[in-house]
Structure 1
Amino acid sequence: HVKHHHHHLCNGNMTGKSSVFFHLSVFPDALPGKSIKSSGARQHLDISTLQKVFSFLLMASDVSVIDGFELLVNSNPLSLCLQMFSVAPRRFLPDVKNPCWFEELRGDVSADPYGSNLFGRSFRQIQLIFEQLSGSFTQRLTRHDGRLQLLRCLPYFYIIGQPKCGTTDLYERLRLHPDVRLTPPKEPHWWSRKRFGIIHSGERPQTRFPLDHYLDLFDPVALQIQQSLLGNSSSNIITGEASASTMWDNDAWLYLYGNSTGAEPPSLVQDFIHALQPDTRLIAILRDPVERLYSDYLYFGTANKSALDFHQKVCESLRMFEGCLRDAGLRACVYNSTLNKAMSVRLEVGLYVVFVLDWLSVFSRDQLLVLRLEDHALNPRLSMSRIFRFLSLGALSDQRQRQISKSPVSNPRRASDRDLGPMRPATRELLTLFYSPFSQRLAEVLQDESFTWDL
Structure 2
Amino acid sequence: MRLRHLACYRRSHLASTLLGFVLLGAILGYLQLHTRNLVTKDTSGNNKEHLSIFKKDLYTFLFTNESHSKINYSILNVTNVSSEQNITSFPATQNLKPYEWCSDESSQFHYNSTYAEDIMKYNISFIPEGYKNPCFYDVCKTVGSVSVRALRCLPYFHLIGVDKSGSTDLFARITQHPQVLPNLGVLEKETSWWPWTRYGHGLKKQVRKESFDKYLGYFDNAAGQIERTIQLNKKGSNANNHDFHLLITGDGTPMDFWDFSGWPKIPQNRNQNIPKILTPHLLKHVNPNVKLILVLRDPTERLYSDYLFLKSGVQTPKGFGAAVLQSLQYFKNCTERYSVRKCLFDRKLHTRVKARIHVSIYSVFLKEWLKVFPRKQILIIRSEDYSQNISSHLKNIFNFLGVTELAEKDITKIATRSRAYQTPTKKKIGPMLNSTRHRLDIFFQPFNEELVEILRDEKYLWLDTKEKIKQNLKKQEKRRLENLKNQINVNASRTISLTKEQKLVLKPFMDADDRNSNTE
TM-score normalised per structure 2? 0.62
Q: Go from structure 1 to structure 2 and tell me whether the alpha carbon gap of 1:326 and 1:217 turns closer, same or farther (over 3 Å shift).
A: same
The letter for the 2-side match of 1:111 is S
Alignment counterpart, residue 289 of structure 1, candidates 277, 299, 302: 299
Match for residue 202 of structure 1?
Answer: 204
Match for residue 171 of structure 1?
Answer: 171
Relative contact order, higher structure (CA 8 A, sep 6+): 1
Match for residue 434 of structure 2?
Answer: 425
Deviations 1:93-132 (A, max 9, x none): 42100000112137x856378xxxxxxxxxxxxxxxxxxx
CA distance in 1, matches of 2:291, 2:401: 7
Match for residue 322 of structure 1?
Answer: 332
Question: Which range moved further: 388-397 or 157-166?
Answer: 388-397
The letter for the 1-side match of 2:165 is C
CA distance in 1, matches of 2:213, 2:444: 40
- Residue pair 1:93, 1:101 contacting (<8 A) in 2 also: no
Q: Go from structure 1 to structure 2 and tell me whether the alpha carbon gap of 1:109 and 1:347 turns closer, same or farther (over 3 Å shift).
A: closer
Matched, 1:444 2:453: yes
- Residue pair 1:439, 1:452 contacting (<8 A) in 2 also: yes
- Residue pair 2:154, 2:219 contacting (<8 A) in 1 also: yes
Match for residue 392 of structure 1?
Answer: 402
Deviations 1:309-356 (A, max 9, x none): 111111111111111111111111211221222211101000000111
Shift of 1:78: 7.9
Match for residue 222 of structure 2?
Answer: 221
Alignment counterpart, residue 379 of structure 1, candidates 386, 389, 397: 389
Partner-residue secondary structure (3-state), 1:240: strand
Q: Go from structure 1 to structure 2 and tell me whether the alpha carbon gap of 1:318 and 1:178 turns closer, same or farther (over 3 Å shift).
A: same
- Residue pair 1:157, 1:282 contacting (<8 A) in 2 also: yes
Q: Go from structure 1 to structure 2 and tell me whether the alpha carbon gap of 1:112 and 1:345 turns closer, same or farther (over 3 Å shift).
A: farther
> Counterparts of 1:121-160 in structure 2 under 5 Å?
149-160=149-160
Q: Go from structure 1 to structure 2 and tell me whether the alpha carbon gap of 1:93 and 1:412 turns closer, same or farther (over 3 Å shift).
A: same
Deviations 1:120-158 (A, max 9, x none): xxxxxxxxxxxxxxxxxxxxxxxxxxxx52111000000
Match for residue 71 of structure 1?
Answer: none
- Residue pair 1:265, 1:335 contacting (<8 A) in 2 also: no
CA distance in 1, matches of 2:388, 2:129: 39
Match for residue 366 of structure 1?
Answer: 376
Matched, 1:80 2:124: no
Alignment counterpart, residue 145 of structure 2, candidates 87, 111, 114: 111
CA distance in 1, matches of 2:314, 2:350: 22
Alignment counterpart, residue 261 of structure 1, candidates 261, 269, 272: 272
Shift of 1:76: 6.7
Partner-residue secondary structure (3-state), 1:267: coil
CA distance in 2, matches of 1:361, 1:93: 27
Task: Give the number of the structure whose alpha-carbon radius of gyration is greater.
Answer: 2
Q: Go from structure 1 to structure 2 and tell me whether the alpha carbon gap of 1:379 and 1:196 turns closer, same or farther (over 3 Å shift).
A: same
The letter for the 1-side match of 2:284 is H
Q: Go from structure 1 to structure 2 and tell me whether the alpha carbon gap of 1:249 and 1:378 turns closer, same or farther (over 3 Å shift).
A: same
- Residue pair 1:93, 1:100 contacting (<8 A) in 2 also: no
CA distance in 2, matches of 1:357, 1:303: 31
- Residue pair 1:254, 1:337 contacting (<8 A) in 2 also: no
Shift of 1:189: 0.5
Q: Go from structure 1 to structure 2 and tell me whether the alpha carbon gap of 1:326 and 1:259 turns closer, same or farther (over 3 Å shift).
A: farther
Shift of 1:260: 3.6
Matched, 1:192 2:227: no
Percent identity for Structure 1 against Structure 2: 32
Deviations 1:217-255 (A, max 9, x none): 211111111112395431111100100110011122245
CA distance in 2, matches of 1:172, 1:267: 31
Alignment counterpart, residue 129 of structure 2, candidates 82, 94, 119: 94
Match for residue 406 of structure 1?
Answer: 416
The letter for the 2-side match of 1:81 is I
Q: Go from structure 1 to structure 2 and tell me whether the alpha carbon gap of 1:105 and 1:342 turns closer, same or farther (over 3 Å shift).
A: closer
Shift of 1:303: 5.9
The letter for the 1-side match of 2:193 is W
Q: Go from structure 1 to structure 2 and tell me whether the alpha carbon gap of 1:302 and 1:320 turns closer, same or farther (over 3 Å shift).
A: closer
The letter for the 2-side match of 1:440 is E
CA distance in 2, matches of 1:396, 1:230: 17
Deviations 1:4-33 (A, max 9, x none): xxxxxxxxxxxxxxxxxxxxxxxxxxxxxx
Q: Go from structure 1 to structure 2 and tell me whether the alpha carbon gap of 1:152 and 1:267 turns closer, same or farther (over 3 Å shift).
A: same
Gaps of 5+ in 1: 1-67, 69-74, 114-147
The letter for the 2-side match of 1:449 is E
- Residue pair 2:116, 2:266 contacting (<8 A) in 1 also: no
Q: Go from structure 1 to structure 2 and tell me whether the alpha carbon gap of 1:78 and 1:245 turns closer, same or farther (over 3 Å shift).
A: closer
CA distance in 1, matches of 2:137, 2:196: 27
Q: Go from structure 1 to structure 2 and tell me whether the alpha carbon gap of 1:159 and 1:230 turns closer, same or farther (over 3 Å shift).
A: closer
Shift of 1:450: 0.8
Q: Go from structure 1 to structure 2 and tell me whether the alpha carbon gap of 1:110 and 1:244 turns closer, same or farther (over 3 Å shift).
A: closer
CA distance in 1, matches of 2:244, 2:210: 32
Deviations 1:404-453 (A, max 9, x none): 22111111121x33211000000000000000111111112111111110
Partner-residue secondary structure (3-state), 1:371: strand
CA distance in 1, matches of 2:173, 2:231: 28
Q: Go from structure 1 to structure 2 and tell me whether the alpha carbon gap of 1:359 and 1:447 turns closer, same or farther (over 3 Å shift).
A: same
TM-score normalised per structure 1? 0.70
The letter for the 2-side match of 1:261 is Q
Q: Go from structure 1 to structure 2 and tell me whether the alpha carbon gap of 1:235 and 1:307 turns closer, same or farther (over 3 Å shift).
A: same
CA distance in 2, matches of 1:208, 1:333: 24
Match for residue 27 of structure 1?
Answer: none
CA distance in 2, matches of 1:256, 1:105: 25
Shift of 1:210: 1.1
Shift of 1:182: 1.0
- Residue pair 1:159, 1:244 contacting (<8 A) in 2 also: yes
Question: Which range moved further: 89-98 or 351-360?
Answer: 89-98
Partner-residue secondary structure (3-state), 2:248: coil
- Residue pair 2:313, 2:354 contacting (<8 A) in 1 also: no
Partner-residue secondary structure (3-state), 1:229: coil
Gaps of 5+ in 2: 1-97, 99-112, 233-237, 467-520
- Residue pair 2:160, 2:256 contacting (<8 A) in 1 also: yes
- Residue pair 2:313, 2:319 contacting (<8 A) in 1 also: no
Q: How many residues align?
A: 340
